[in-house]
Structure 1
Amino acid sequence: MSTPLSTRTSDALAQDFVAFAVDAGVLRFGEFTTKAGRQSPYFFNAGLFDDGAKLGRLAEFYARRLIASNLAFDMIFGPAYKGITLAAAVAVELARLGRNVPYAYNRKEAKAHGEGGMLVGAPLRGRVLVIDDVITDGASKREAAELIRAAGAEPCGIAIALDRQERASDAAGEPGVQAEESRLSGVQSVERALGLKVVTIATLADLLQYLAAQADNELSRHLPRVEAYRVRYGV
């Protein structure tokens, strides 16, 4: 099996982002039930980037990671709902850094009056980068890619804040699910199915590195449980 497109080593930007997410209360520790029904010792809720300062800082992390990735794109697309705010904020930050690109987003339901349709913002053209918070099962990213292609443009990549690096499914043995597929993370599954590079600001490995560095901090007590979670569900 080839090395996943998303594989990379930790770096200062990732560590700064994890620290920021923890300080902002967006990355929390405790007992949380994931979409897959797992009991997770941590939870990342991008909806809590809920004021101008936090959203602006978040956009800075996205923009810096995208610039460092050298991924070529002509515009940004934000899937409804969280992706809408993210796409707008990142477009503003990229423009501030000298890279002015158009952006668009979709509605959940088609509008029957005014301009109508499912799409809002700039026309979908050229190479379109999808921006969202995380990838779980990848369904919304597949829908976004289909919508972009239907408009005559081409999805070229996906940018997310955090890659949990865990299996998207525990469905090995179920009809239609190959054993290898069940071992893929949501990010790896999307990369394989759509052939798109996924750019991540930080990963679970970065979070583990951050917690391991908190020897004199109360946060260090969460490290064993997060490590155990990755051993059980990680890829």
Structure 2
Amino acid sequence: MTTPVSFHPQAFIELALSRGVLKFGEFTLKSGRVSPYFFNAGLLNDGEALSLLAEGYADKLVQCENVGVIFGPAYKGIPFVAATAVALSQVHGKSVPWGFNRKEAKDHGEGGVLVGASVAGQEVWIIDDVITAGTAIREVVTVLKNAGATIAGVLVALDRQERGQGELSAIQEVQKELEIPVHALITMKDLMDYLDAKGEKEALANMQAYREKYGI
């Protein structure tokens, strides 16, 4: 078993920058907001990057007591949850069942929308990249509850820490509505701390202005 290594936000931020996963600049989001940064976890598309992300998720999960099954929503969540199961086993010595869903129900073979470990009667942690509006997470929660699962919580890579339609962030809305914890590996504050440490004054000023306008 590999010696457990704690997840470090700065190391993840540097890797994300090197892979183009994280970019600073000017980006128009689906919401219409012009963001000073953009995060695309789909570009964590090599072994080193995926391993670091998975080790971050695993590091968070071993701090939780109620981990029955880990679950990755289609599509990005599927490789994330599989890699996290490997990290839990190889790094922490914990063999945790994992599963995922299909976008469309299969009408032959085993059928249904759920694949992998059974979630019936289990406490399930959902693993995904970000929560933007919360719609996708709510849909997955409904599928899991209909299958007899209890939702223990959600793990995401990034918390943008910005308001949704109201005064709460999408993550805060999910926590309040579903009464479950949502944890993130890095936050907007981590990004700002990184820019500050690197002396990136212009990018930091843009982040500060954005947070003052949309932050929680």
Q: Same fold (TM over 0.5)?
A: yes
TM-score by length of 1: 0.85
TM-score by length of 2: 0.92
The residue that corresponds to 1:154 in the other structure is 150
In structure 2, what is the Cα distance between the partners aligned to 1:35 and 1:159? 22
SS of the counterpart of 2:198?
coil
SS of the counterpart of 2:62?
helix
The residue that corresponds to 2:10 in the other structure is 15
Matches within 5 A, 1:74-153: 74-96=68-90, 97-125=92-120, 126-153=122-149
Question: Unaligned 5+ residue runs, structure 2?
Answer: 1-5
Decide which of 66, 70, 92 is 1:72's aligned counterpart: 66
Contact 1:130/1:159 (8 A) holds in 2: yes
SS of the counterpart of 1:15?
helix
Q: Report how many aligned residue pairs link the two structures.
A: 209
Contact 1:159/1:200 (8 A) holds in 2: yes
In structure 2, what is the Cα distance between the partners aligned to 1:35 and 1:131? 22
Decide which of 197, 206, 216 is 2:190's aligned counterpart: 206
In structure 2, what is the Cα distance between the partners aligned to 1:35 and 1:163? 17
User: Aligned letter for 1:78?
Assistant: G
Contact 2:72/2:126 (8 A) holds in 1: yes
User: Aligned letter for 1:194?
Assistant: L
Structure 1 runs, 4 residues or longer, greater than 4 Å off = none
Shift of 1:140: 0.9
Contact 1:66/1:199 (8 A) holds in 2: no
Q: Deviations over 1:134-183 (max 9, x none)?
A: 011111111111111100111110000000000112xxxxxxxxxxxx00
In structure 2, what is the Cα distance between the partners aligned to 1:20 and 1:71? 29
User: Aligned letter for 1:47?
Assistant: G
In structure 1, what is the Cα distance between the partners aligned to 2:35 and 2:131? 16
Identity of aligned residues (%): 49
